[in-house]
Amino acid sequence: MENKLQIFMESGLLDSYILGTTTPNENLEVESYIAEFPEVEAEFERLQNNLEILAKAHTVKAPKFILDEVIKEIAKNTEDQPVIQLSSAPTHSRTPWYSIAASIAALIFAGMSLLLYKQNISLAHENQVVVDEIFDLRSDIEDNNNKLENVMLQFMKLNNPETEKYVLRGNSRAKNLKTVAYINAVDKTSMIDVVSLPKLPENQTYQIWAELQDRMVNLGILDESERNKLKTIPYMENALGLSITIEPKSGSPTDNAHTDNSVAEITLKND
């Protein structure tokens, strides 16, 4: 039974199930394992949480101008066509019926020509709009594919068995501060998820540091605008720990961190 469970956990079916790429038969197999084995259920919950982190990190709001453009287009297509008023013929003299017929035919021909001309102009404009929209859609599809590829790569990094998760919580100076660091010593990659950062005065910033044997190395600035976004930070070989400090904005990123400024810190595993 344990061998069967181990084979399933190493098959990658659970990852594919989370991403929605499994077949109906594979779905039934995964769901049966989730129902039968608590270990599989716990791993399923962990994968779902990681996928939720990635979803929040890549949330994109729809542009505000889309609704206005749709309303304008509907209004334009529902406008009444202008009506041409024709003056009545004089009544004091009789006009031969064939002259009247010829005049009516000429007016109809002129009206049809004008209508066809306007329709051709409108169709040409609509065709150009369609062509532009196709190019825009292709560009959007390419951007979305690139974003999806990045999400898949980050998801794989988060669920790599070699990736260690570290939670940094603020001390009394920043009680609501919380960030999560993901470090893989094999791939030599580091990412950080800013969960919450207490507001600071305009002249101060949060900075994250790596503690080495003989010095502190600045890994970048943390900002509230990066909340719930996975941010890549430099990987430091043989780092003993990570710390977050409050520093003046005017300070140089290469300055050493001051211990008194620390608001959160953790010790890293060095196996």
- pLDDT value of residue 89: 47
Residue 171 belongs to domain spanning: 163-267
Do 201 and 253 belong together in one domain? yes
36 found inside a domain? yes
- The chain-wide mean pLDDT, for the chain, equals 78
Do 151 and 209 belong together in one domain? no
Do 249 and 197 belong together in one domain? yes
190 found inside a domain? yes
pLDDT at residue 101 above 70? Answer: no
Do 155 and 168 belong together in one domain? no
182 found inside a domain? yes
92 found inside a domain? no
Per-residue b/e over 70-94, b at no fewer than 16 CB within 10 Å?
eeeeeeeeeeeeeeeeeeeeeeeee
75 found inside a domain? no
Identity of the residue numbered 97? W
pLDDT at residue 127 above 80? Answer: no
15 found inside a domain? yes
pTM, rounded to two decimals? 0.53
Query: Which pLDDT tens digit goes with each residue over 33-91?
Result: 999 889 889 888 888 888 777 766 666 555 555 556 656 666 665 555 454 554 554 44
Domain count, the chain: 3
234 found inside a domain? yes
Sorted by sequence, the CB contacts under 8 Å of residue 248 that are 6+ apart come out as: 203, 204, 205
Sorted by sequence, the CB contacts under 8 Å of residue 155 that are 6+ apart come out as: 19, 50, 51, 54
Query: Which pLDDT tens digit goes with each residue over 65-78?
Result: 555 665 666 666 55
148 found inside a domain? yes
Do 263 and 169 belong together in one domain? yes
